[in-house]
Amino acid sequence: MMSEERLRTVLARVQPAPRLVDWSLFVLVFLEVASGLLSFTVGRPPGWPVFEFHRIAGVAIVALLAFKLYRVRHRVLDRDRWVPSTVLSALTAAAAVGALLTGFLWVAGLDVRIAYWTLLSVHVGFGLALVPLLIAHLSTRFRPPRRVDLEGRRTAIRFTGLVVGGAVLVRLQDLANAVLETGGRDRRFTGSQPREGAGNAAFPVTSWVADDPDPIDRDSWALSVDGMVASPIELEFSAIEPDAEREALLDCTSGWYTVQRWGGIRVGDLLDRVDADADATHVRFVSVTGYRWTLPIDEARDALLATRVGGERLSHGHGAPLRLVAPGRRGFQWVKWVDRVEVRDRPDPAQWLVTLISGFE
């Protein structure tokens, strides 16, 4: 074991000034939350740097948090020094450690569920909990950043070391996954784990937040196609003839993906049928629950409204009678239980909120 004195000498060399550690942690947590949320919108491989950044910043946080926890250990371990805000500090630390640990284990390939949630969803939960905790923690212990803490050649070297060290450790973890053949090597660039097989039973039924409608009676259901179109229509289920089939990858932000053959109708054919206006720029897909998502019209034309998956009729949980298949988009954008397609001339920013609250009374 290293003597405490020795450890202190080493730390003095490698760790930034205390206040700088604290402010760097704050900035990095902010960037982690931002890149984590942003990553939810990334479904195509060119977006990989978002995930890479998230991992490297996570490693940098581990180092800074270790410096910080070592520095404040007496304030926590020594009961006489407890003050009311110590509880808040401890909770903040617990959320941070929880987020780091679940993130690390997920990348290492631990693909388990905790109650209803995947490990990745628990990671997201810790990360989101950290936001109010960190803001409250900061307001009880606010010390403005100081210029002197930033000065000196050492500081620049230390921070370069953090970033380079983080990048190296991320690569080493990937290498370890490959060499040790952990489940971590099967992940997609988004971090999602594969679900193999074909058809309804091959992949989980997932809600983005709370959407959970009763099964839909095909005979009383109809699809309306309207908005900026010359001739709006209402299609009964029997009038929908699935004449298109395509393979597409569904990648859920809770951490799994599946490749399936989806059968249904091409949205482009539907738009031709109703004679969409030349000025239309977007297409909105609306669920019976109100949940909705809008795609740019060219992308929408190429999407599918599916009645079938893997050679089977779509099950209720997977969105029967009709669900959107939007290749390249993350799962939450693949609207289930669609009963309305609306041609529009603008995007729909409110969809972000609607998807979150849909299903709550």
Ligand X SMILES: Nc1nc2c(c(=O)[nH]1)N[C@H]1C(S)=C(S)[C@@H](COP(=O)(O)O)O[C@H]1N2
Q: Which is nearer to Mo ion, 35 or 333 (CB)?
A: 333
Span from 1-9, 160-168, 202-210, 269-277 in contact with ligand X (CB under 6 A): 202-210
What is the maximal distance between C-alpha atoms in the chain? 81
Query: Which distant-in-sequence residues (6+ apart) come within 8 Å of 222 by Cβ?
Result: 234, 235, 236, 237, 339
Is the backbone of residue 191 left (phi > 0), alpha (psi -120 to 50) or beta?
Answer: left
Question: What separation in angstroms does the CA of 144 have from each of 19, 23, 68, 132, 147?
Answer: 8, 9, 17, 19, 10
Q: Which of 16, 127, 321, 331 binds ligand X (CB under 6 A)?
A: 331
- Tell how far CA 243 is from the center of its chain: 33
Site for Mo ion in 31-60 (CB under 5 A): none
Span from 17-25, 53-61, 151-159, 335-343 in contact with ligand X (CB under 6 A): 335-343
Structure tokens at 109: 């390939």
Span from 57-65, 67-75, 245-253, 344-352 in contact with Mo ion (CB under 5 A): 245-253
Q: How far, in Å, CA of 292 to CA of 240, rounded?
A: 21
Span from 14-22, 80-88, 143-151, 244-252 in contact with Mo ion (CB under 5 A): 244-252
Using CB under 6 A as the binding rule, whether residue 190 contacts ligand X is answered as no
Using CB under 5 A as the binding rule, whether residue 331 contacts Mo ion is answered as yes
Query: Residue 67 binds which one of ligand X, Mo ion, none, with CB within 5 to 8 A depending on kind?
Result: none
Q: Which is nearer to ligand X, 32 or 251 (CB)?
A: 251
Using CB under 6 A as the binding rule, whether residue 257 contacts ligand X is answered as no
Strand, coil or helix: what is 141?
coil
CB 87, min distance to ligand X, A: 35
Query: Residue 207 binds which one of ligand X, Mo ion, none, with CB within 5 to 8 A depending on kind?
Result: ligand X
Q: How far, in Å, CA of 4 to CA of 310, rounded?
A: 62
Site string for ligand X, 27-56 (x = CB under 6 A): ------------------------------
Using CB under 5 A as the binding rule, whether residue 118 contacts Mo ion is answered as no
User: Which residue in the block uniquely carries the two structure tokens 């039924």?
Assistant: 205
Q: Which of 193, 206, 260, 351 binds ligand X (CB under 6 A)?
A: 206
Q: Among residues 338, 241, 260, which one has the least CA distance to residue 294?
A: 338
Using CB under 6 A as the binding rule, whether residue 319 contacts ligand X is answered as yes
* H helix runs in 151-296, sequence order: 153-179, 267-274
- Tell how far CA 105 is from the center of its chain: 16
Tell me the DSSP string of 267-306: HHHHHHHHTB-TT--EEEEEETTS-EEEEEHHHHHH-EEE
Using CB under 5 A as the binding rule, whether residue 92 contacts Mo ion is answered as no
Q: How far, in Å, CA of 285 to CA of 271, rounded?
A: 13
Q: Which of 203, 257, 262, 285 binds ligand X (CB under 6 A)?
A: 203
Span from 8-16, 120-128, 201-209, 216-224 in contact with ligand X (CB under 6 A): 201-209
Q: Which of 93, 96, 120, 252 binds Mo ion (CB under 5 A)?
A: 252
Using CB under 5 A as the binding rule, whether residue 206 contacts Mo ion is answered as yes
For residues 202 and 310, the answer to whether their CB atoms sit within 8 Å is: yes
Q: How far, in Å, CA of 127 to CA of 268, rounded?
A: 40
For residues 244 and 265, the answer to whether their CB atoms sit within 8 Å is: yes
Using CB under 6 A as the binding rule, whether residue 68 contacts ligand X is answered as no
Using CB under 6 A as the binding rule, whether residue 111 contacts ligand X is answered as no
Structure tokens at 282: 């977007």
Using CB under 6 A as the binding rule, whether residue 285 contacts ligand X is answered as no
CA-based torsion, 148, 152, 154, 156: positive or negative: positive
Query: Residue 327 binds which one of ligand X, Mo ion, none, with CB within 5 to 8 A depending on kind?
Result: none
Q: How far, in Å, CA of 339 to CA of 19, rounded?
A: 55
Q: Which of 289, 294, 307, 351 binds ligand X (CB under 6 A)?
A: 289
Using CB under 6 A as the binding rule, whether residue 262 contacts ligand X is answered as no
Using CB under 6 A as the binding rule, whether residue 165 contacts ligand X is answered as no
Q: Which residues are near ligand X by CB under 6 A?
A: 203-208, 211, 252, 287, 289, 291, 317-319, 331-332, 334-337
Q: Which residues are near Mo ion by CB under 5 A?
A: 206, 252-253, 331-332
